[in-house]
Structure 1
Amino acid sequence: MALIIVALAGLCLGSASIPVSSIWAIFSGGDVSGSWKTIVLDLRLPRVVSAILAGAALSSSGLIMQTLFGNGLAGPSVLGVSSGASLGAALALLLAPGAGLISRLGLLGCSFAGAFITMMLVALIGERIKRGGTLLILGLMIGYTVNAVVSVLIQWAPSERVHGFVSWSFGTFSGIGWDRIPWMAFSVFLGLVLAFMGSRLWDAFLLGETCAATIGADVPRIRRRMILISALLAGTVTAFCGPVAFLGVAVPHMARGISGSARHGRLLPVTVLCGASLAVAADLLSRLPGGASSLPLNSVTSLIGAPVVAWVVFRGGDR
């Protein structure tokens, strides 16, 4: 219900407010102003759809990473995975010769590769370092290192491409039209389907890898599967929407409080719905309905997510 309400608000509110009755008329084929129809179908609806996909993907990726590392502060942005995806995207956006296919398929592939390599590196470090706090610090250092490499690439890149990359790096759901949404939806749906199919396997990690191994779970295979799915989800969102901060860390904790369960069969659907709802709400807030200005998306998600992360730390979430 919350997702429906915020999605409807996302279609109605903005620099031009459109009544709910007119939204219904647009989708039912009624007589509506042509400008309103263009605003809803060509501008706001793709933005709402991309926000739903991104929120569901990032929150699910964060949930799987928190389960994998046994740490409530794990997430795509905290462990440097989003930074790795940003590096791959920077290679495609700043240095690739030309656009077209590269801007669609190549951008997704490079972003996914960057996310996957970074998460593999963090996972290898995690096998040697068992303390969650130390692992998070190293993940942050990896993220800072990757961001430094991106800064160097910006210095080398043609000036006409730098502005587009900087705008992309703030995170946005507005730059995705109907021509790109099918690519994003396919990757997100694939990752979510794989995540739901493995939800029982993820439960084996709730008590740690040692306990999972004692009950007969193939820990290395499950770990690789979790890394692949998390990287696919985080890399896809970063490729299309930029590095959106904090949703992957904050939403799983909200979902646990709502569902009252740690079992992924019940927790994962709640996480998907919460992530989608929160992403649409954050995008709505960033648009400042009624005004012509717009806030960077990451400034809104950080205001929402940072207090949740602080709450997790204070209650002992850093295990």
Structure 2
Amino acid sequence: MHDSQWLAAQFESQRGHLRAVALRMLGSANEADDAVQEAWLRLSRADTREVANLAGWLTTVVARVALDALRARKTRREESMQWEPGADETESADEPGPEQQAVLADAMGPALLLVLETLNPAERLAFVLHDLFAVSFEEIAPIIGTSAINARQLASRARRRVQGAAAAERVAAPVDSLRRRRVVDAFLSASRNGDFAGLLTVLDPDVVLRADPTAVLASVARQADGAPKLAAYARGAQAVAEAFEGRAQAAQPALIDGEIGAVWAPGGRVRGAFLFALAGERIAGIDVVVDPRHLQRLRIEIL
């Protein structure tokens, strides 16, 4: 029988891998940490005497927790988990080799993470587990609640969308930082001035906003001053413009992990960060980071 110390040691040896899986699945450092913690709680309560592959068992648990979180996140629209492959889609024609898998894994920058946001939970799980972490479709299928064939097709459909975004990102790579700076400056100016029309101009119609729990709590505390509450998730130019209208009063442009973003840094101390993903001349994604642990992991240079 596995004792608690042995289980704890095994879990710690897998923590980095489990967090990587959860982070790719959820796109949020805080939610990833919560998923890993839930995996530990389930491990500590489980009878693991019959578990031959503990690493695989833990990966499955984290994947299930992340899938539940994604499905809950999708309450704004009903997603079908029983998608059947169409007649025009082959099962393995675009199956990636090891080199292509590595390229996709390395390419998962902010813009491609936004592409993952457009996938339904089953597609996202199948793609992330198989293409990025080499989990077999036979193992993925029970997590989703479908067949291995359907799991393969879900990953295939997701892969085509991610590959298309990767190609677009490579084409856009030479775009100079001055253009990105102009877009971010236009957003900050419109936000500060309460220019709703200006915000709509600079935001992509399908823009996605994500705010970490610390940012949401901070916005609740400021409601007493008349400031609106910041939503943890919003989609569409109208909703995101409403969230930022009249905000960003003290935001400053900054380089964040080498990309143009913005920070709130009273007294020179960074207390919040705004990460932007651009699609052409518009903002396609905004991540609001206030959690001190996440901020410490970012390389920030105030401009």
TM (norm. structure 2) is 0.24
* Greater Cα radius of gyration, structure 1 or 2: 2
Bigger relative contact order, structure 1 or 2, given CA contacts below 8 A and separation 6+?
A: 1
Structure (1 or 2) with the greater strand fraction: 2
Structure (1 or 2) with the greater helix fraction: 1
TM (norm. structure 1) is 0.23
